[in-house]
Structures are given as C-alpha cells and as structure tokens.
Structure 1
C-alpha cells in the first residue's frame, strides 16, 4: 500500500528496507535451524538438511503471519486515527467559525450603539 506523500524514492527505500529485513529474518531462521539440529548428532546429513529446511520454513511462515497481523493492525490504527483527526478538524473549524461569528456580532452591536 503506497504511503501518502512518499515519492518513488521513498517507496523504493521502503522496498529495499523490507527486503533486507526479510533476508535478515531468513538468515536468522537458518541459523536457528542449524543450532537446533546441531545437538541431534544421530541424524544423517539428509535428515539434518530436511529438518533444517522444515524448521526454517516453519519459522518464516510464523514470521510472515506475525508481520501480516502487525500490518493489519497498523492499517486499522491508521484508519482510526484519520477518522479522529477528521472529527477534530471539523470541531476546530466549527469552534473557530462560532467564535468569529460571535466576535462579528459583538463588533456589529458595538458599532450600532
């Protein structure tokens, strides 16, 4: 989802940052998988590789689900804050107009007297 006010450079920067963060997550999942299988000395090489692959895939699947939940929550919070900001703007505008109308009325009454 493109951000408001962000140019193409900002979008590219966000994509690069996201890619680098995901690659760091992949590297971490692979490292943790190797640590997990490291203590299982009785595994064959093929078994070790398969367990590492599945462990890393499961870890990345969970990380993706977490990121999707966070992104959905961020979007809902953004919508909520935009709604509240709109209400606040309308209230401030109404208050300003009311004060201006009151001052205009007072000034008109003072000029008439």
Structure 2
C-alpha cells in the first residue's frame, strides 16, 4: 500500500517540477521578447546618443517586464482563488454524498432488520 503513495508523491513532484520549468521557460521567453522589443523601439530614435538610447532601451524593457510580472501575479492569484473555490465546492459535494451514502446504508440496514423485528 505504501508504494502507491510514493508513486503519487513522485508524480506530484514531477508535475510540480515540470510546472516550475514551464514557468521559468515562459518567463525567459518574456525577457527575451522584452529585450527584442526594446531594441526595436529604440531604433526609432536615431538622433539620440548611444548612452541615451541605452537608457531608453533599459527603461522600456524594465516597464515591459514590470507589466508582465503584474500580469503573471494577477493570473496566479486568480488561479489560487479558483482552485480554493473548487476545493471547497468539491469538499461540500463529497460531504453531501457521504451523508446520502450513510443514509442509504442506514435505511438498507433498517429494512433488512425490520422484518425480523416485526416477527419477533
């Protein structure tokens, strides 16, 4: 029996690691896109000195990444709220079903014993 728990824990750990890797890769792609877009943006300002273009590029990239981080944070908070809602909902449904099952078992037991009680 204990082996199944270890497999489940291993599978959860594997999925968790894959989600972390996916998040890391997605963020790195966002950083690369921000760098690329910042470089394209700053190309429009050929009259700026190299130092000024670098400052504009850095500011653009920082703002873009700050925005992306906000999007990710809001999505994560929403995801946690939705997961918590469904956890509570599932617990509520499971509790009701447990009550229904207990009532059915009790009624079945009563119906099984009732003829003997009436006879006797």
Q: Shorter-normalised TM-score: what interval?
A: 0.7 to 0.9
Range with greater deviation from structure 2 (33-42 or 83-92): 33-42
* Equivalent residue number for residue 52 of structure 1: 57
Deviation at 1:15, TM superposition (A): 2.9
Q: Give the distance between the partners of 1:96 and 1:10, measured in 2 at CA.
A: 34
Higher helix share: 2
Structure 1 gap segments, 5+ residues each: none
Q: Give the distance between the partners of 1:65 and 1:40, measured in 2 at CA.
A: 28
Give the TM-score taking structure 2 as reference length: 0.80
Range with greater deviation from structure 2 (16-25 or 89-98): 16-25
Structure 2 gap segments, 5+ residues each: 1-7
Pairing 1:17–2:22 present: yes
The residue correspondences of 1:1-113 to structure 2 (distance < 5 A) are: 5=9, 6-7=12-13, 9-111=14-116, 112-113=118-119
Q: Give the distance between the partners of 1:39 and 1:107, measured in 2 at CA.
A: 86
Aligned residues: 109
Q: Give the distance between the partners of 1:41 and 1:78, measured in 2 at CA.
A: 49
